[in-house]
């Protein structure tokens, strides 16, 4: 069994959505000061690094993070290569075998510099959601900061995924991951009011 970490490391230079809260870590207390412990302080957006979106993020009447089923964030997953694609659409998945798969993760490698927020990304098309729903998919993951174009205000793909009961995992790292079948675990924090949550996302390869 091999565990593959597909989470973005968090540090004080972690790129965030332009204008969003920068990530910050500092020692609130030091062992020298307290005589016993170091205690850190975190400042961050709920959409920093590898994270999940709750429907409340783009729908004021939508579910918060605490309301989401944990089963949606763990289970059989398929990594599919979309390198070089301008967008992610059903036409590109016609040869994919979805048997026994609940989660699909798209490897675009379009976020070239991990220390810089990308200028553009290949979004998913709105018609991908009903297609994936028919295939039994309940979670989509992308190695990008969003499933929609970066300048989108309508967030059509976010809304379409919500309407079809498909969860959203963004900002995963798949650079060294081969396309294929894995088990995914990407659990959000139990944030009662959360519109999103950072996660520690891993893939389990039981063939190694």
Domain boundaries, the chain: 2-6+45-205
Using CA atoms, how far apart are residues 88 and 92, in angstroms rounded to an integer?
7
> What confidence tens digit (pLDDT) does each residue in 1-21 have?
999 999 999 999 999 999 999
**Model pTM score:** 0.96
DSSP secondary structure letters along 80-122 = EE-TT-SSB-GGGGTT---TT--EEEEE------TTS--S---
Per-residue pLDDT for 115 more than 90? yes
**DSSP 8-class letter at 35:** S
**Residue 208: predicted pLDDT:** 72
DSSP secondary structure letters along 113-175 = -TTS--S---PBPTTHHHHHHHTT--EEEESSS-SS-TT-SS-HHHHHHHHTT-EEEES---T
Domain 2-6+45-205: which CATH class? alpha beta
**DSSP 8-class letter at 66:** G
Confidence of residue 108 (pLDDT cuts 50, 70, 90): very high
Contact (Cβ atoms closer than 8 angstroms) between residue 154 and residue 73: no
Per-residue pLDDT for 161 more than 80? yes
Is the CA virtual torsion 139, 141, 146, 148 positive or negative? negative
Query: What distances in angstroms separate CA 82 from CA 2, 79, 92, 104, 108, one per listed residue?
Result: 24, 10, 8, 12, 5
> What confidence tens digit (pLDDT) does each residue in 33-80 have?
999 999 999 999 999 999 999 999 999 999 999 999 999 999 999 999
Contact (Cβ atoms closer than 8 angstroms) between residue 49 and residue 10: yes
Catalytic residues: 57
> What confidence tens digit (pLDDT) does each residue in 171-197 have?
999 999 999 999 999 999 999 999 999
Residue carrying the six token digits 């070089």: 84
């Amino acid at each position: 069994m091999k565990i593959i970490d597909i989470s973005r490391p968090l540090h004080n230079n972690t790129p965030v959505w332009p204008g969003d809260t920068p990530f910050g870590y500092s020692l609130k207390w030091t062992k020298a000061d307290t005589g016993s412990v170091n205690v850190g302080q975190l400042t961050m957006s709920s959409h920093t690094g590898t994270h999940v979106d709750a429907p409340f993020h783009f729908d004021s009447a939508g579910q918060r993070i605490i309301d989401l089923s944990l089963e949606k964030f763990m289970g059989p997953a398929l990594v599919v290569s979309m390198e070089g694609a301008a967008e992610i659409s059903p036409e590109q998945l016609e040869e994919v075998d979805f048997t026994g798969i609940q989660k699909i993760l798209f490897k675009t490698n379009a976020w070239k510099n991990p220390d810089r927020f990308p200028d553009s990304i290949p979004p998913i098309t709105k018609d991908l959601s009903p297609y994936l729903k028919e295939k039994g998919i309940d979670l989509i993951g992308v190695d990008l900061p969003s499933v929609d174009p970066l300048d989108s205000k309508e967030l059509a793909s976010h809304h379409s995924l919500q309407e079809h009961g498909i969860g959203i995992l963004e900002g995963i790292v798949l650079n060294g991951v081969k396309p294929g079948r894995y088990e995914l675990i990407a659990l959000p924090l139990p944030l009662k009011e959360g519109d999103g949550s950072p996660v520690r996302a891993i893939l389990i390869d039981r063939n190694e």
